[in-house]
A and B are shown apart, each in its own frame.
Chain A
Amino acid sequence: MSTTEWIGRRVRGSPATWSRFWFSSASASTLTAMRVALGVASLGWAVSIAPDLRTFYFDDGLIPSPNYADYRLGLFQWLTSDAAVVVAWAAMVVAAISLIVGKGVRLGAPLLWITTLTLQQGAATALNAGDLLLRIWTAYFALFAVLTPSRFLDVALFGRPSSGATPDRVWPTAPVWLIRLAQIQLTVIYPTTVIAKLDGDTWREGTAALYPLGLQDFERFWLPAFMRENLVVGNLMTWFTLAAEISLPFLLWTRRTRWFGIVVGILLHGGFDYTMRLGFFFPAVVIGYLAFVRASEMDRFLTWAHGRGSKLLTRSTPPEPCDEIVNL
């Protein structure tokens, strides 16, 4: 086949490929796992700010009048009472629980987005990248929930038992475009961050990883001193980070290396989160990695997890005492 023929065939086939990529359907297990993970992360976020609601948001707090530029949106622009803060927080908790249990998601997902947006914009000074990524996921899910029938949304994490005699679980077949959106969102993070990093001398020299490890306020868990001070270790950490971030988009989108990419990405972000206080960045990024788990793989994993959980519950329940004495 000549190059021209090959290109022609590709171009003719591209609308079908495009359509299949965005608009095909698959088991909703991956989608459901992402939804539950988003609910859990959002609930964690809401619980984490609960002790600081007064400090950040109330009239006698640190940010009594948040500065809303034209491009920023949040209900506290118009609802300025302390009671509105408490109501928004409670609504966020309810919405997050709705995503976790899979009930009323069509209302819960948009509610989660607007309350997350409102609470984050009300204290924008205190935000970090993890908060923003969490907010992006809530926006995607809100859009998906509004445009998608409830039968794809109100699904329990472990689906429902299959009609056959097997212990398999089944999920409805749902559109994949939200998963595609999440995959692309996660992917674009890496070239963006690499371009920003290559602008700085310390990344090219190989010392960048050592600087944040020297910031006491940023430190999360114990690290041996040589990891903070040794130049060779610093070089390896810095260049491994760059190499991983450059290669992750290719690894994740290549069939043979997809799982390797998922493991490298999770380890990379797990390492960041172990060493530095990055708020909710790790759970937020894990939601993106879930999007790269194929529905068939997620089906098998959740079926297995459900089976294991059922066995453990059965084993931990003591047998009922027998009241009758049976004479044989």
Chain B
Amino acid sequence: MRLDRNDHLWEPTAEWVAAQFRDEHVAKVVLVRRFSDTPEPGSNDERVWESAEFFTLTMADAGKGNRS
């Protein structure tokens, strides 16, 4: 669901995540994309992970998630 072509799934996903923690009064859900280039085989390079927030749902604004 993290791919841009699945952006219609981001909001339901954020709502679903919030629902899993309903008792903890979730104020905001941030979807974070973690990615890394796969090192070239035989190079012995370490995998370097990066991350970027791509969708934020503020619970008071449910239905108007901010894409970042």
- Residue B26 interfacial (CB < 8 Å): no
> Could you tell me if B41 and A211 are in contact, using CB atoms closer than 8 angstroms?
yes
- Residue A62 interfacial (CB < 8 Å): yes
**Which B residues between 13 and 66 are near A, CB-CB below 8 angstroms?**
13, 15-16, 19, 38-42, 44, 47
- Residue A214 interfacial (CB < 8 Å): yes
> Could you tell me if B6 and A125 are in contact, using CB atoms closer than 8 angstroms?
yes
Given contacts A125-B1, A125-B6, whether A64 and B12 have CB atoms under 8 Å apart is yes
Whole-angstrom distance between the Cβ of B64 and the nearest chain A Cβ = 17
- Residue A234 interfacial (CB < 8 Å): yes
> Could you tell me if A62 and B41 are in contact, using CB atoms closer than 8 angstroms?
no
Among B1, B8, B16, find the residue whose CB has the most chain A CB atoms closer than 10 A.
Answer: B16
User: Contact flags (1/0) for A200-220 with B, using CB distance below 8 Å?
Assistant: 000000010011001100000
**Which A residues between 183 and 225 are near B, CB-CB below 8 angstroms?**
207, 210-211, 214-215
In the assembled complex, the Cα of A235 lies from the Cα of B12 at a distance in Å of 43
Whole-angstrom distance between the Cβ of A222 and the nearest chain B Cβ = 19
Q: Interface size class for chain A?
A: 10 to 19
User: Which among B13, B15, B38, B41 is the interface contact of A229 at CB below 8 angstroms?
Assistant: B41
**A230, closest chain B residue (CB):** B42
Given contacts A207-B41, A214-B38, A214-B41, whether A62 and B1 have CB atoms under 8 Å apart is yes
> Could you tell me if B6 and A62 are in contact, using CB atoms closer than 8 angstroms?
no
**A214, closest chain B residue (CB):** B38
**A205, closest chain B residue (CB):** B41
Using Cβ atoms and an 8 Å threshold, which residues of chain A touch B6? Answer: 125
Given contacts A60-B19, A64-B12, whether A231 and B42 have CB atoms under 8 Å apart is yes
**Which A residues between 93 and 151 are near B, CB-CB below 8 angstroms?**
125
> Could you tell me if A214 and B39 are in contact, using CB atoms closer than 8 angstroms?
yes
Given contacts A62-B9, A67-B8, A125-B6, whether A234 and B16 have CB atoms under 8 Å apart is no
Using Cβ atoms and an 8 Å threshold, which residues of chain B touch A64? Answer: 12
Dominant secondary structure of chain A at its interface with chain B: loop
> Could you tell me if A229 and B42 are in contact, using CB atoms closer than 8 angstroms?
yes
Using Cβ atoms and an 8 Å threshold, which residues of chain B touch A62? Answer: 1, 9, 12-13, 16
- Residue A55 interfacial (CB < 8 Å): yes
Using Cβ atoms and an 8 Å threshold, which residues of chain B touch A229? Answer: 41-42, 44
**B8, closest chain A residue (CB):** A67
Using Cβ atoms and an 8 Å threshold, which residues of chain B touch A125? Answer: 1, 6, 9
- Residue A271 interfacial (CB < 8 Å): no
In the assembled complex, the Cα of A60 lies from the Cα of B8 at a distance in Å of 15
Using Cβ atoms and an 8 Å threshold, which residues of chain A touch B8? Answer: 67
Whole-angstrom distance between the Cβ of B20 and the nearest chain A Cβ = 10
**Which A residues between 53 and 82 are near B, CB-CB below 8 angstroms?**
55, 60-64, 67
User: Which among B1, B16, B38 is the interface contact of A211 at CB below 8 angstroms?
Assistant: B38
> Could you tell me if B9 and A63 are in contact, using CB atoms closer than 8 angstroms?
yes
**Top-8 shortest CB links A-B:** A210-B41, A231-B42, A207-B41, A62-B16, A214-B38, A234-B41, A62-B13, A64-B12
Q: Enumerate chain A interface residues (CB-CB to B < 8 A).
A: 55, 60-64, 67, 125, 207, 210-211, 214-215, 229-231, 234
A selection of 14 A-B contacts at a CB cut-off of 8 Å is: A60-B15, A60-B19, A61-B12, A61-B16, A63-B9, A125-B6, A210-B41, A211-B41, A214-B41, A215-B38, A229-B42, A229-B44, A231-B42, A234-B42
Q: Enumerate chain B interface residues (CB-CB to A < 8 A).
A: 1, 6, 8-9, 12-13, 15-16, 19, 38-42, 44, 47
- 15 new A-B pairs (CB below 8 Å) besides A64-B12, A211-B38, A214-B47? A60-B19, A61-B12, A61-B16, A62-B13, A62-B16, A63-B9, A67-B8, A125-B1, A207-B40, A210-B41, A211-B41, A215-B38, A229-B41, A234-B41, A234-B42
